[in-house]
């Protein structure tokens, strides 16, 4: 995301370093929570120099969002089922499963932590949200290109994602399939 | 809320102690954040014995929700304008003003903090949410008694409160009056 190096061969030393740094961040988050460790501690655990991390990611904040996006893209890729109702139902079901899982509010915790990390934190937060919004927007654009009427990305945020997140945050009831599908149907 | 004493005269020693303890909690929250102080520290700052706090509030968790509810009831009382649209618009505008203010996410931070404070924390969280839900429900019941169709309290949570909270949490745009009224109109 904040790649400042020339293109590298996949699977080479750079990919190994990337994987080790990501693992170090994941471990430090689970041990200490967001915002309670430094680039130096990530570097020490991954066995690389601080300067390698700064050169590649620019800041701790950018590194945190890169780790979060990599995880999101692997675990919750945007679905492509052929219909908007199908896509949104699959997407909503995925989010519901993620946020009711063991560390389900990790993404929200990251966003809240970044929000209190000054200008670089806010920038990293916006990069992360912009990237997921772009992915969601592609899904909605595909529907429009097929001739289906589609809400905008903020509609999905406000009326599908927000209710599920707030229900989990407030401990208000399980996110049943009927509830989740109901949010999608109501928006469409 | 967790009053275990017989009825007391307002304005007496008990009211003074209550006010001093509430102030001590408010100060400690702003200095250290939720969950980073003990009943003993509240007592010392308010100049009362620990046992007075336990006798009156039962636990730190209950004390925290009592302080939050007292503040909410003073600053965001449920409106009674004569129509449901008027009530919901006034209520939503109030919440929007509160959560975009200087410590706007305090209530959400409290709920998240209580959620990680074990069984007493979860109980205190549910007491707080149940009390606000009851107040909201009275507003909706008044509308039904006047013959107006009304959504249930979860509809208000999902489609008015949740979008506003998530927008503020994610730093997604100001909550303009048009946006807030739009959420109400869409639900009604």
Looking at residue A72, its pLDDT comes to: 85
Q: How far is residue A110 from each of residues A30, A66, A160, B67, B180, measured CA to CA in Å? A: 12, 12, 20, 28, 26
Q: How far is residue A145 from each of residues A86, A88, A148, A150, measured CA to CA in Å? A: 16, 16, 7, 10
Yes or no: say if A165 and B162 are a contact pair by the CB < 8 Å rule.
yes
CA of B133: which chain A residue's CA is closest? A172
pLDDT of B5 strictly over 90: no
- Stretch A144-172: mean pLDDT, rounded? 93
Of A111, A115, A162, the CB nearest to B162: A162
CA–CA dist B58, B2 (Å, integer): 7
Local confidence band at B94 (pLDDT 50, 70, 90 cut-offs)? very high
Local confidence band at B10 (pLDDT 50, 70, 90 cut-offs)? low
* Whether A152 contacts chain B with CB within 8 A: no
What CA dihedral angle connects A168, A174, A179 and A184, to 10 degrees?
30
- Stretch B167-185: mean pLDDT, rounded? 92
ipTM, interface predicted TM-score of the complex: 0.83
Looking at residue A9, its pLDDT comes to: 54
Of A159, A167, A169, the CB nearest to B159: A159
Ranges of H-type helices in A33-117: 39-46, 50-57, 60-75, 84-99, 106-115
**B 26-65 residues with CB < 8 A to A:** none
Instruction: Tell me the CATH class for B60-187.
Output: mainly alpha
pLDDT of B182 strictly over 90: yes
Span B108-136, pLDDT tens digits: 888 888 888 888 889 999 999 999 999 99
Local confidence band at B48 (pLDDT 50, 70, 90 cut-offs)? very high
CA–CA dist B113, B37 (Å, integer): 12
Task: Provide the greatest CA pair distance for chain A.
Answer: 53
Looking at residue A45, its pLDDT comes to: 96
SS3 A37: coil
A92: left (phi over 0), alpha (psi -120 to 50) or beta: alpha
pLDDT of A1 strictly over 70: no
Higher-pLDDT residue of B33, A153: A153
Higher-pLDDT residue of A147, A169: A147
Yes or no: say if B103 and B26 are a contact pair by the CB < 8 Å rule.
no
- Is A163 in contact with B165 (Cβ distance < 8 A)? no
**B 77-136 residues with CB < 8 A to A:** 108, 111-112, 115, 122, 125-126, 129
Residues in chain B within 8 Å Cβ distance of A119: none
pTM here?
Answer: 0.84
Span A72-107, pLDDT tens digits: 888 888 999 999 999 999 999 999 998 888 777 788
pLDDT of B20 strictly over 90: yes
Looking at residue B3, its pLDDT comes to: 45
Instruction: Tell me how close the Cα of B158 comes to any Cα of chain A, in angstroms.
Output: 5
- Is A162 in contact with B166 (Cβ distance < 8 A)? yes
Higher-pLDDT residue of B7, B118: B118
Higher-pLDDT residue of B184, A103: B184
pLDDT of B11 strictly over 70: no
Of B122, B157, B166, the CB nearest to A157: B166
Tokens representing B93 are 């505008």
Q: How far is residue A120 from each of residues A82, A132, A149, B73, measured CA to CA in Å? A: 38, 19, 37, 37
Instruction: Tell me how close the Cα of A163 comes to any Cα of chain B, in angstroms.
Output: 5
Least confident of A64-78, A129-143, B87-101, B146-160: A64-78
Which residues lie below 8 Å from residue B66, measured CB to CB, with a gap of 6+? Answer: B1, B2, B22, B57
Give the highest mean pLDDT range of A11-15, A128-132, B63-67, B181-185: B181-185
What's the burial of B137, exposed, middle or buried (CB within 10 Å: 0-12/13-18/19+)? middle
């Amino acid at each position: 995301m904040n790649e400042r190096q020339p293109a590298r061969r996949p699977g080479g030393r750079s990919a190994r370093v990337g994987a080790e740094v990501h693992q170090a961040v994941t471990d430090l988050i689970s041990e200490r929570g967001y915002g309670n460790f430094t680039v130096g501690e990530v570097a020490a655990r991954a066995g690389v120099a601080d300067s390698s991390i700064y050169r590649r990611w620019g800041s701790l904040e950018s590194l945190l969002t890169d780790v979060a996006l990599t995880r999101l893209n692997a675990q919750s890729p945007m679905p492509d089922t052929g219909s908007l109702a199908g896509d949104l139902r699959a997407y909503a079901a995925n989010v519901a499963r993620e946020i009711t899982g063991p560390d389900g509010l990790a993404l929200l915790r990251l966003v809240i932590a970044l929000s209190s990390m000054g200008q670089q934190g806010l920038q990293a937060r916006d990069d992360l949200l912009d990237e997921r919004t772009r992915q969601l927007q592609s899904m909605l654009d595909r529907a429009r290109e097929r001739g289906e009427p589609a809400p905008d990305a903020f509609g999905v945020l406000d009326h599908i994602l927000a209710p599920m997140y707030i229900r989990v945050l407030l401990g208000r009831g399980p996110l049943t399939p009927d509830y989740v599908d109901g949010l999608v149907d109501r928006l469409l």
